[in-house]
Amino acid sequence: MEKILVIGAGGQIGVELTLALRAKYGQDNVIASDIREPHVLLADSGPYVQLDVMNSNAVSLLVQKEKVTQIYLLAAILSATGEKNPLWAWDINMKSLMNILDICVEQKVSKLYWPSSIAVFGNTTPKENTEQKTIIEPVTVYGISKYAGELWCQYYFDKYGLDVRSLRYPGLISWKSAPGGGTTDYAIDIYIEALKKQSYECFLSEHTYLPMMYMDDAIRATIELMEAPKESIKNRMSYNLSGMSFSPKEISEAIQKHIPGFTISYAPDFRQKIADSWPKSIEDKEAEKDWGWKAEYDLEKMTAAMLENLKTVKRM
């Protein structure tokens, strides 16, 4: 039986991934942890430990005590937040990964999942259908730390045989938990504001295309990757992962089909420069070939799901 530890379980990805893992493996077999108090959706759904990933001794003792077989390391400082304090973001993003890589080797943890991001790409990267192997010159500390992390994951696989797996997430859109300070957060806020005020001021320009994905697809991709046979995983840095690509103008038009009176205005800020450095769309042929990945949600299907579900949550 697997014993899974999710570090950073209170974040945007962590909440939904923890719930999905508990549904699949049993709530007692998935330990949620975060530096904060438990998210409301996790409080009564299984074991929770308040844990600082920067404290390697505490993490190591927990892994040993609980006989953890898999770790999902989700703790990170995201792009927009990271640019406000780059050295702090670098320290947390890199030290947390190095702590867990070493613990996995020392404690003989069978699998490690660590997410990368489209933030590894930069201004010199081809913008359309960006390939798995391409020019990678990130322009944010978040992207730099993610690319460095990919190389460390490859190193630990080559040197120690650690079964580490990773996905380059596009912008992720969810309704269960709040975004965590990323450049693509507008694509969550816009739905919330559409229901609250029927208007939204976007911090990106109207024709800014970015790769995006509905959280249900991202969670499914993560679990499918981790459950794939070891011999199927050919990439030990990080797989491109593609869902859809759209602009703020296009997402607003999709919302207007459900809320005809919805209006949008534009006031680009410092996040525009970050978005402009990223691809407009990416391809994920290697993920499809190696472990059978295929997205299910497009913009229309996601918009209907977001608006329907957001109406039911308390913040609305």
Per the DSSP assignment, residues forming a β-bridge with 71 are 5, 112
| 186 pLDDT tier (thresholds 50, 70, 90) | very high
> Stretch 283-310: mean pLDDT, rounded?
97
Annotated catalytic residue within 48, 72, 113, 142: 142
CATH numbers and ranges of domains, the chain: 4-171+214-240 (3.40.50.720), 173-212+244-281+296-310 (3.90.25)
| 19 pLDDT tier (thresholds 50, 70, 90) | very high
Instruction: Give Cα 291 to chain centroid, integer Å.
Output: 19
Q: Which residues contact 22 (CB under 8 A, 6 or more apart)?
A: 29, 30, 45, 46
Could you read off the pLDDT of 203-221 as tens digits, one per residue?
999 999 999 999 999 999 9
- Report pLDDT for 177: 72
- Report pLDDT for 183: 86
Give the residue ranges of DSSP H helices in 161-247. Answer: 186-196, 215-227
Q: Is 30 exposed, middle or buried (0-12, 13-18, 19+ CB in 10 A)?
A: buried
- Report pLDDT for 260: 97
Between 21-30, 82-91, 181-190, the lowest mean confidence (pLDDT) is in 181-190
Could you read off the pLDDT of 114-142 as tens digits, one per residue?
999 999 999 999 999 999 999 999 999 99
* 7 three-class SS: strand
Per the DSSP assignment, residues forming a β-bridge with 239 are 167
169 is catalytic: no
Could you read off the pLDDT of 236-276 as tens digits, one per residue?
999 999 999 999 999 999 999 999 999 999 999 999 999 99
